[in-house]
Structure 1
Amino acid sequence: MKRDAPLTTRRRLLGAAAWASLAGVAPLAGCSGAGGAGRVIDGGFAGVAFERGHRLRDPANLAAPAAPARTRRVQVLIAGGGVAGLAAARALRQRGIEDFALLELEDTPGGNSRGLQLAGLPCPMGAHYLPVPGPAAFEVQDWLEELGLRRRVAGRWVYDERTLCHSPQERLFFQDAWQDGLLPLQGVDAGTLAQYRRFGARIEALRREARFALPAARSSGSAVHLALDAETFDAWLAREGFDAPHLRWYLDYCCRDDFGAGSATVSAWAGVHYFASRHGFHAAQDAPAADESEGVLTWPEGNGWLAQRLAEPLGDRLQLGRVVQRIESGRHAVEVDAWDAHSGTLERWTAAHCIVALPSFVAARVVAQPPDWLRAAARALPHASWVVVNVALDAPLHDRPGAAPSWDNVVYGSPALGYVDAGHQRLSPAPAPTVLTWYHALGTGPAVRAHLFQTPWTHWRDALLADLAGPHPDLPLRAQRMAVTRHGHAMVVPAPGVLAFLRRMPASNGASMLSKKESRGWLAPPRAGRLSFAHADWSGYSVFEEAFTRGHGAGALA
């Protein structure tokens, strides 16, 4: 998924009629297309309980009540059930600590890595894949081995072929036809192809000059990284002479897809890290033969499958529908007040230690007397909003010429990010109903979030239909139902200066937030009294590997 400053024209939220006009199609009233006129597509919002989180806007809910409805005591309490909180719970259990509880606001755990069922079919509400982790993400590697997804065969690591993304993996709707891969190639001039090669060479040179890896904190912080962090990716590209429109579109798309904001917003460090921390950049005709280490792991419900594997062993230690409203670290214990959304009552928890696996801006609001560095982080770290729309189809769509239907399908020039097919991993070749998951990163700022909350679900239905009208004019005929998920603060955005801010921000004990524990290289969590903090925000880069590693470190060192 994907500064509170005026939005650029390229990322401005468009009404359905305006978007349809830009796409060259008529505004949609309900639906249109081949045989679809007059049909009504059912749907609505799903997946995020905004009214629960918005309780934190009322200062009265943040104060300690005179008498909670009930009190409970555990050794360790985890606030937040996203990937970081779930990974922290796993790390506690690895240490033999079973006396803990995890409080999660939603009715299902996983944060942005959750899935749902639509028309009886699983599909993602957010993150939908995990790249095969590199050696720096050894905590993730160990866990995948524990799940049986990774094993040693003839001296090399291999991954379960059922979970590796099946071919064909991705395609681009470009010049009225589908092409393999997402980098525009068909009909592209020689000058653009030369820039593709030069950009790949520049990324490779930076990889040799400074290490890039996931999790980022195990590699980032050199003078090279900090220089890249000081300017936007767009500014760096312009200074390096990368001005080919097709290349710039692709790089902007990559930034919106991974960071939730475009190349004019994210730092050059983030833009370079996207390629340098993985497998570089190659135009299709120059790419080396792919191996399994370059693959991605995916499931019909996306990373919801991974979240469920983390949650399953927790039993009743996983407390769902709990809105953490106050966390206070005392001399002898931590006191946490949480509103139970199911009973409508307030409960108080006490623990020897609390792992705060909440976004920085939420942590700064609910922690009593937050330290200065936490307040500063809440101000300094921007977050992007996203819309994810799942649409159930009763049969496969007709296809335009070119590349075959793929897992990831993108429309060139679109303000959205295309769709993935939740049925792509099926082993049966027979045509069947499926769910397409359409992604749109909206950028940052309160105006974006206000628009997100104020528009009806039909706005996003019509936006999706207009966006995909070119490659799939029969979509209105096949679509049966839509589920729209709104993420108001989906992910931290690595804007210029974010890396430098995190590098210099000390924890309360004076140690660097990004320091390591020598024995295993665990990332030391920021701490304040009896609290330790675990979230992808503290990496400035919101992906599964970062959240998992942050949570594991907090649980291992709590």
Structure 2
Amino acid sequence: MKRRTFVGAGASALLAGCDWDWLAARQGLQGGYVGANVTLGHRLRSGGFPPPSFEGQVDVAIVGAGVAGLAVARQLRRAGIDRYRLFDLEDEAGGNARGHVIAGMGCPLGAHYLPTPGAPAQDVRDLLVELGLLRVQAGRDVYDELTLCHSPQERLLIGSQWQEGLLPMINVDAQALRDYRRFATLVAQARATLPFAIPTVLAGWAPGLDALDGQSFAQWLAAQGLDSTAMRWYLNYCCRDDYGAPLGQVSAWAGLHYFASRHGFRAPGTDGPDDRDELLTWPEGNAWLTRHLAAAHAAQLQTASLTTRVQPTARGVQIDVWNDALGRSERWTADQVVLCTPLFISARLLAADAPAALTATAARIRYAPWLVANVWVPEPLDERPGAPRAWDNVMMGDSPQGLGYVDAMHQSTRPTPASIGPTVLTYYMSFGTAPAAREAL
């Protein structure tokens, strides 16, 4: 299959939820939409639920069973609290980290990898130890070899040739190489003089970060004289890949945080450790993690359930839920509630009881729409000269929204290598935060 054919098919599959019948007739494709339960979610806006016909009581109610909600449940369990309940509108926990199966092959519906955590992320490290993915031997981290992203990890198509890694190196000029070295120096200075960490709460805040947060990454790069095409393309790609928005819509703090909080940035031809993260990944992406997390809370997890109202009371909190699986309204009371939902959803659920700070912040937050297409291919894509097939494959000449594709079978241990058999390619697109992008979606 030609790369151009795949990209075109991927874009069509991404729009499957809009008018699949038309697309299938036009291009002979089979498939469909398996994303969020939009119909149930929109009932939060339309309302019209019957009075509650069931009442329940727990110590803690958790609204949202994505990664945040599952993490809260895990912490409660570790603290000896088991009278809690997780509510989620989807049929499966996991949120943006859910997965799917096509032709017996797992593939992600969103988040598809986990960078190996540094020392500050102790909770994540504890989880990986618990899951058997990490052990510390003689003071060194030893990760499960089957879970670490297999080599080669990533490649970039420039023109008609693939190169290893995503930093452009083919036909780059002297200015680009100078910019690479200059940016490496600036990142090193930022790491040495300003607090950066993951999770960010451990880093604190400093006056120098205010100046960075008050300007876009594009403005900051221009002030530093970093304007070569290759440097700008790479940094723009990093921002779109991590934040869903381009350089001009991401703050300079966020742009530097991408590098300074993790691996730094090493210019080609200079000494130092590899600046690429080691990654943990699975064919189904981070659904492997969320399914293991959810399994520990099967008795407390209530899926296909839309929370419609959260109201503080004199004795705790009252939570109204539409149980779509049973077709009934439920009223739950809890001593405490944890809202693991987007801020605008949290504000809507609390309504008049929402704190002013929450309402104001929710109104300012902008969300970046994404589309993810899982495309089954019976044979490998036609290869171009250069670096061999990798897990992450990015095209420098892709559409402005394209982020490339990952090969779900790259991590597989099946007898038939992905290089000679069918696989599922997961193509990602980020539309940015502009209103026109949402309208296009």
The verdict on a shared fold, with TM-score over 0.5 as the criterion, is yes
Is 1:432 paired with 2:421? yes
Q: CA deviation at 1:138?
A: 0.7
Tell me which residue corresponds to 1:26: none
> Of the candidates 209, 214, 228, which is equivalent to residue 244 of structure 1?
228
- SS of corresponding position for 1:301: coil
Tell me which residue corresponds to 1:164: 148
Query: Which letter does structure 1 place at the counterpart of 2:432?
Result: G
Query: Which letter does structure 2 place at the counterpart of 1:433?
Result: P
Q: CA deviation at 1:447?
A: 4.5
CA distance in structure 2 between the aligned counterparts of 1:240 and 1:115, rounded to whole angstroms: 41
Q: CA deviation at 1:376?
A: 1.0
Q: Which shows bigger deviation, 393-402 or 179-188? A: 393-402
CA distance in structure 2 between the aligned counterparts of 1:444 and 1:190, rounded to whole angstroms: 34
Tell me which residue corresponds to 2:30: 42
Deviations 1:313-347 (A, max 9, x none): 11231000011110011110211011112233211
CA distance in structure 1 between the aligned counterparts of 2:267 and 2:427, rounded to whole angstroms: 26
Query: What residue ranges of structure 2 are gaps of 5+ in the alignment?
Result: 1-7, 13-21
Q: CA deviation at 1:203?
A: 0.6
- SS of corresponding position for 1:329: strand
Query: Which letter does structure 2 place at the counterpart of 1:276?
Result: A
- SS of corresponding position for 1:316: coil
Tell me which residue corresponds to 1:422: 408
Deviations 1:72-120 (A, max 9, x none): 1111111111100000000010011111110001011111111011122
Query: Which letter does structure 2 place at the counterpart of 1:50?
Result: V
Native 8 Å contact 1:249 1:413 kept in 2: no
Deviations 1:395-437 (A, max 9, x none): 2222111000000000004221000000001234632211000
Query: Which letter does structure 1 place at the counterpart of 2:421?
Result: A
CA distance in structure 2 between the aligned counterparts of 1:277 and 1:231, rounded to whole angstroms: 19
Is 1:306 paired with 2:306? no
Q: CA distance change for structure 1 residues 356 and 339 in 2, over 3 Å: closer, same or farther? A: same
> Of the candidates 430, 433, 439, which is equivalent to residue 444 of structure 1?
433
Query: Which letter does structure 1 place at the counterpart of 2:412?
Result: R
Native 8 Å contact 1:181 1:284 kept in 2: no
Aligned residues: 417
Deviations 1:216-272 (A, max 9, x none): 121141112121100100011111111101110110000000001111101000000
Deviations 1:131-187 (A, max 9, x none): 000111111011111111110112212111111101000000002110011111011
Native 8 Å contact 1:328 1:336 kept in 2: yes
Q: CA distance change for structure 1 residues 208 and 194 in 2, over 3 Å: closer, same or farther? A: same
Native 8 Å contact 2:70 2:294 kept in 1: yes
- SS of corresponding position for 2:151: coil
Deviations 1:270-293 (A, max 9, x none): 0000011111112343363449x9
Native 8 Å contact 1:197 1:283 kept in 2: yes
Native 8 Å contact 1:183 1:283 kept in 2: no
Is 1:330 paired with 2:309? no
Deviations 1:508-550 (A, max 9, x none): xxxxxxxxxxxxxxxxxxxxxxxxxxxxxxxxxxxxxxxxxxx
Q: CA distance change for structure 1 residues 435 and 251 in 2, over 3 Å: closer, same or farther? A: same
Query: Which letter does structure 1 place at the counterpart of 2:241?
Result: D
CA distance in structure 2 between the aligned counterparts of 1:186 and 1:148, rounded to whole angstroms: 40
CA distance in structure 2 between the aligned counterparts of 1:266 and 1:159, rounded to whole angstroms: 33
Native 8 Å contact 2:195 2:205 kept in 1: no
Q: CA distance change for structure 1 residues 218 and 276 in 2, over 3 Å: closer, same or farther? A: same
- SS of corresponding position for 1:325: strand
Is 1:235 paired with 2:219? yes
Percent identity for Structure 1 against Structure 2: 48
> Of the candidates 261, 265, 277, which is equivalent to residue 249 of structure 2?
265
Tell me which residue corresponds to 2:3: none
Query: Which letter does structure 2 place at the counterpart of 1:302?
Result: G
Q: CA deviation at 1:385?
A: 0.6
Is 1:51 paired with 2:35? no
Query: Which letter does structure 2 place at the counterpart of 1:417?
Result: L
CA distance in structure 1 between the aligned counterparts of 2:214 and 2:128, rounded to whole angstroms: 36
Q: CA deviation at 1:450?
A: 4.0
Tell me which residue corresponds to 1:109: 93
Question: What is the RMSD of the two structures over their aligned residues, measured on CA atoms?
Answer: 2.1
- After TM superposition, list the pairs within 5 Å mapping 1:195-234 onto structure 2: 195-234=179-218
CA distance in structure 1 between the aligned counterparts of 2:23 and 2:344, rounded to whole angstroms: 38
Native 8 Å contact 2:59 2:335 kept in 1: yes
Query: Which letter does structure 1 place at the counterpart of 2:75?
Result: A
Tell me which residue corresponds to 1:408: 392
CA distance in structure 2 between the aligned counterparts of 1:273 and 1:357, rounded to whole angstroms: 24
- SS of corresponding position for 2:148: coil
CA distance in structure 2 between the aligned counterparts of 1:75 and 1:39, rounded to whole angstroms: 53
Tell me which residue corresponds to 1:526: none
Tell me which residue corresponds to 1:344: 327
Tell me which residue corresponds to 2:128: 144
CA distance in structure 1 between the aligned counterparts of 2:435 and 2:333, rounded to whole angstroms: 35
Query: Which letter does structure 1 place at the counterpart of 2:254?
Result: A
- SS of corresponding position for 1:440: strand
CA distance in structure 1 between the aligned counterparts of 2:40 and 2:416, rounded to whole angstroms: 43
- SS of corresponding position for 2:432: strand
CA distance in structure 1 between the aligned counterparts of 2:209 and 2:41, rounded to whole angstroms: 35
Deviations 1:429-466 (A, max 9, x none): 632211000000111255533432xxxxxxxxxxxxxx
Q: CA distance change for structure 1 residues 39 and 79 in 2, over 3 Å: closer, same or farther? A: closer
CA distance in structure 1 between the aligned counterparts of 2:190 and 2:273, rounded to whole angstroms: 22
- SS of corresponding position for 2:39: helix
Query: Which letter does structure 1 place at the counterpart of 2:292?
Result: R
CA distance in structure 1 between the aligned counterparts of 2:403 and 2:269, rounded to whole angstroms: 24
> Of the candidates 392, 397, 409, which is equivalent to residue 381 of structure 2?
397
